[in-house]
A and B are shown apart, each in its own frame.
Chain A
Amino acid sequence: MEREALDVDVLIVGGGPAGLSAALTLASLQQSRGGEPLAIAVLEKAREAGAHELSGAVLDPRALAELIPDYRSAGAPIEADVHEDRVYVLDAGGKLALPLIPPPLRNHGNHIVSLNRFTRWMAARVEEAGIDFFTGFAGVEVLWDGTRVSGVRTGDRGIDKEGRPKATFEAGVDIRAKVTIFCDGVRGNLTKQLLAKLPLAEGREPQQYAIGIKELWEVPAGRIAAGTVMHTLGYPLRMEEFGGAFVYAMPEGRISLGLVVGLDYRDPLFDPYAAFQRLKEHPLVADLLAGGQRVKYGAKALPESGWNSIPQTWMDGGLIAGDAGAFLNSFRLKGIHLAMKTGMLAAETAFDAVRAGDTSATALRAYQDRIDRSWVREELYPVRNVHQAFNHGLIAGLTFSALTVATGGRIPLRLHGEPGHEMMKTRAEYYGSTRGPIAASNAVKADRVRTFDKVTSVHFSGTRHDEDQPVHLLVETDVCYSRCGEEYGHPCQRFCPANVYEMLTNADGTKRLQINASNCVHCKTCDIMDPYQVITWVPPEGGGGPQYDGL
């Protein structure tokens, strides 16, 4: 097949905070150092900048201030400055406010932002800097020259359901680069290919993830002051489930409400989405939302396992930054600043390497040195064991967290974690029987005012895909029929927050897995959490996916 090819010096895959910070850093290095300009390209699978970005989000402005010192006057879309932190422990009907805010949850000096608005603003600056920013193009395959990364292939367009080219067919483009910076986000499909081919994760802790489910609400004015940040522990989660909720108040009665749940829960019938609905029924949240309206919905996985799980992020011709490399501080519930900073450090490394004419692993290893000398290590190393401590339960996690704060992280230990999908118990193990009904153990009946069914929520993510394209969730379905129903009761139906997976009953009583691929919000949870690891998320046709705005 004939393909177009494009040669650049630096290719950045992913137009999130990491990728765009890398692009802006390259542009400013170009300007300050002069010389022959580098050819730079940024790929983004969303139809428009920021449309696939979702976070809480409370932004620590440390990296932003380094990248764009005058960010306030330059119009960075900051919704509010944090002026008050509150932390609660919830049970089914009540709440206990912590009298003292634990240090990692103190947000003075931080900003509440909408990540997709923030990203859109950054993308506009990238384009102003004259960098080619290609939206609607997903990287589907790493191009190799032996074990050297030589670029990325973008997805074909115009393929029908059966895999046949349609009249609108366009072959993907091979973009060859001297250095490719992978910023493809949590469980990035290209980073996954890197980890499969190269021994980058050797000796590291396994990756562990959580899923964040979030809504944007508009509530009557005066309910909660803009700049208020609330975090909760406990209900709707049980002691055995890791996670917590957040409420971030913005002006004009806009509220970001979300629940983060560790993708290492035991109960095979647990449903993170249902837990989120329950959260909204708790008096603390229900009082806040009363009379308000849900205007947006979305979900995204996040990498939680920290410093010891970060893979080797440099290789011949390639670097990894941001969530793709697990640069997130789960202790502080923050990753945007680390994504930005690692993007900036990767760009500096790539720039020097291209200029020096050596983009081998030996040259790109300088990225690791930059990380080690920067505040990225300073911030992540002391809390390297915290998430793993939570693997042993909430009490163990909180105790270890307190010790970490007390000692400044000087505990000479390496706590190990297990991949989250291995933590899920079978129905027989968890319930002692497989006779019960296969339904969410924490199901909630939607009242369609405050709580909603998944299909309705999907509509509020704005997600859209061309229906006539191959299913982008590759599932080895044998195990679905032979084992999964009996063993785990098809947990895909529950951990997916977008109703992509549905087990239907045929006329003859047999089961059939229906994959509603066009519901997908690109959160990656299925790729992570399925207990047999038979689901592979691949990018759908470029431009498909959620249309987040204000999330």
Chain B
Amino acid sequence: MVVVIAEQRNGTVNRASWEAIAAGQQLAAGSPVNVVVAGAGSEQAAKELAAADVAGVIAVTGGPVEHYTADGWIAAHATVVASVTPQWIVLPHTYQTRDFAPALAAKLDRALVTDCTGIKTADGKPAFTRPVYQGKLAADVRPLGEAPWLVTFQIGAFRGDQAKRGGSANVRTMDAGVDPSAVRQTPEEPFQEARQAVDLSEAERIVAVGRGIKGPEHLPLARALAEALHAEVAASRPICDNGWLPMERQIGSSGQTVAPKLYVAVGISGAIQHVVGMKGARTIVAINKDAEAPIFEVADYGYVGDLFEFLPALTAELKK
């Protein structure tokens, strides 16, 4: 049996959780999947999650499991694991998971495999593919020791829309009975920064601009294209370094890693630091005046030419 630990905010499940469910379904290979979701709003989120083809959804509530704290989440999920005794525990590799999952694994004294991009099955036993050397190589690893094993999946590694739906999941709530005095952290309101931050990893379409845009006065060209495509605007590092776009919109090794359905790279040369942040996109379109720019090596469609002519024409065509 597989337990997927989903994430929600104010009753809304994030995309990464759906991806984790898709991964959990593949890993379960027919055996039951249960989804756990915690925090204020989890009951509403559980209803949304019940649309998945899973055996059950458990909304964890009560006492300190209102707002996220590492101690609260570790205690609550340890209790859930003890009561449902899964074989596998699957999580999306989000910031929150990174915060509590290692400690949860330590508390359970079980193995944790992080940031996986795929599942392979050989001799009836699954192995997990995970990047090493900054994505240069991929290693297949198998956790040792006793079940349950914890596995986190990289955002974009699975597709949320491929999570099988249409089950008749049994939804229940559970008070994990976490002792408030055992929670050492006091959650405050989400920071200003966090509230404003754009989670580009959730975007389905992205228009990203690079040095080729020349100056902030030309950004409206990219914004217009993004609007026509219902896409988010993102950038490579020089643009954010110059303050033309906020740092939270930076894609690449020092920014966010994204895997949208469509990624339009406008005037981006394709430095490896940028490419590692977007090579998982399903369709990559590159617009660059230099035919030898490395971005064309990862692009599915390329246009060699002047972006200042091409962008307005493309935007106008899309609006038709």
Q: Which of A167, A459, A518 contacts B191 (CB 8 A)?
A: A167
Contacts of B95 in A (CB 8 A): none
Looking at B191, B241, B250, which has the most chain A CB atoms within 10 Å of its CB? B241
Q: Is the CB of B215 closer than 8 A to any CB of chain A?
A: yes
B254 touches A456 (CB 8 A): no
Q: Does B146 contact A (CB under 8 A)?
A: no
* CB of B62 to closest CB in A, whole Å: 28
Whether, in the assembled complex, A58 has its beta carbon less than 8 Å from a beta carbon of chain B, the answer is: no
Known contacts A167-B191, A295-B133; decide if A468 and B273 are in contact (CB<8 Å). Answer: no
Pair B253/A456 contact, Cβ less than 8 Å: no
Chain A min CB distance to B217 (Å): 9
- Do B134 and A459 touch (CB < 8 A)? yes
Across the interface, do A458 and B273 meet the contact criterion of CB distance under 8 Å?
Answer: yes
Contact assessment for B250 and A464 in the assembled complex, using a CB-CB cutoff below 8 Å: no
A459 engages B133 (CB within 8 Å)? no
Q: Are the CB atoms of B250 and A456 closer together than 8 Å?
A: no
Contacts of B273 in A (CB 8 A): 455, 458-459
Q: Inside 8 A of B254's CB, which chain A residues have their CB?
A: 464-465, 467, 518
Is A448's CB within 8 Å of the partner chain B? yes
* CB-nearest residue of chain B to A296: B133
Q: Give CA–CA (A221, B145) in the complex, Å.
A: 35
Main secondary structure of the interface of B (DSSP, over half): loop
The yes or no answer to A417 lying at the interface (CB within 8 A) is no
Query: How far does the alpha carbon of A467 sit from the alpha carbon of B249 in the complex, in Å?
Result: 12
- A512-530 residues at the B interface, CB under 8 angstroms: 514, 516, 518
Residue among A464, A465, A507, A518 making CB contact with B215, cutoff 8 Å: A507
- Give, as a whole number of angstroms, the nearest-CB distance from A98 to chain B: 37
List of A residues within 8 angstroms of B294 by Cβ = 448
- Nearest A residue (CB) for B248: A468
- Which residues in A have their C-beta under 8 angstroms from that of B133? 295, 549
- On whether the beta carbons of B241 and A516 are closer than 8 Å, the reply is yes
B-side contacts of A518, CB under 8 Å:
254
Q: Does B314 contact A (CB under 8 A)?
A: no
In Å, the complex CA distance between A456 and B134 comes to 13
A397 within 8 A of B: no
For the complex, what is the distance from the CA of A465 to the CA of B237, rounded to whole Å? 13
- Chain B residue nearest to A506 in the complex (CB): B215
Given A448-B294, A462-B134: A468 in contact with B247 (beta carbons within 8 A) = yes
Q: How many Å lie between the Cα of A518 and that of B250 in the bound state?
A: 14
B193 interface residue, CB < 8 Å from A?
A: yes
Whether a CB of chain A sits under 8 angstroms from the CB of B272 is yes
Q: Mark B105-139, 1 if CB is under 8 A from A, else 0.
A: 00000000000000000000000000001101000
Contact flag A467-B247 (CB < 8 Å), given A167-B193, A455-B273, A518-B254: yes
Is B271 close to A, CB under 8 A?
A: yes
| Contact residues in B for A295 (Cβ distance below 8 Å) | 133, 136
The answer on a CB contact under 8 Å between B271 and A456 is: yes
Could you give, for residues 434-478 of chain A, a 1 whenever the CB lies within 8 Å of some chain B CB and a 0 otherwise? 000000000000001000000110110010110110000000000
Closest-CB distance, A343 to chain B (whole angstroms): 31
Q: How far is the CA of A110 from the CA of B254 in the complex (A)?
A: 40
Known interface pairs A448-B294, A468-B247, A507-B215; A459-B241 also in contact (CB < 8 Å): no
Q: Measured between alpha carbons, how far is A467 from B215 in the docked complex, in Å?
A: 21
What chain A residues lie within 8 Å of B191 (beta carbons)? 167
Q: How far, in whole Å, are A262 and B318 apart by their CA atoms in the complex? A: 57
Roughly how many angstroms separate A458 CA and B191 CA in the complex, as a whole number? 33
Assess whether A459 is in contact with B215, with CB atoms less than 8 Å apart.
Answer: no
Q: Provide the B255-278 mask, 1 if CB < 8 A to any CB of A, else 0.
A: 100000000000000011100100
| B255 CB contacts on chain A under 8 angstroms | 467
Q: Could you jot down 13 A-B contacts, CB within 8 Å?
A: A167-B191, A448-B294, A455-B271, A455-B272, A455-B273, A456-B271, A459-B272, A459-B273, A459-B276, A467-B247, A467-B250, A468-B247, A507-B215
Given known contacts A462-B134, A467-B240, A468-B247, what 19 new A-B pairs fall within 8 Å (CB)? A166-B193, A167-B191, A167-B193, A295-B136, A448-B294, A455-B271, A456-B271, A456-B272, A458-B273, A459-B253, A459-B272, A464-B253, A464-B254, A467-B254, A467-B255, A507-B215, A514-B241, A516-B241, A518-B254
Ranked nearest first, the 10 interchain pairs of A and B with the lowest CB-CB distance are: A459-B272, A167-B191, A455-B271, A456-B272, A459-B273, A467-B254, A518-B254, A467-B247, A507-B215, A462-B134
> Which chain B residues have a beta carbon within 8 Å of chain A's beta carbons?
133-134, 136, 191, 193, 215, 240-242, 247, 250, 253-255, 271-273, 276, 294
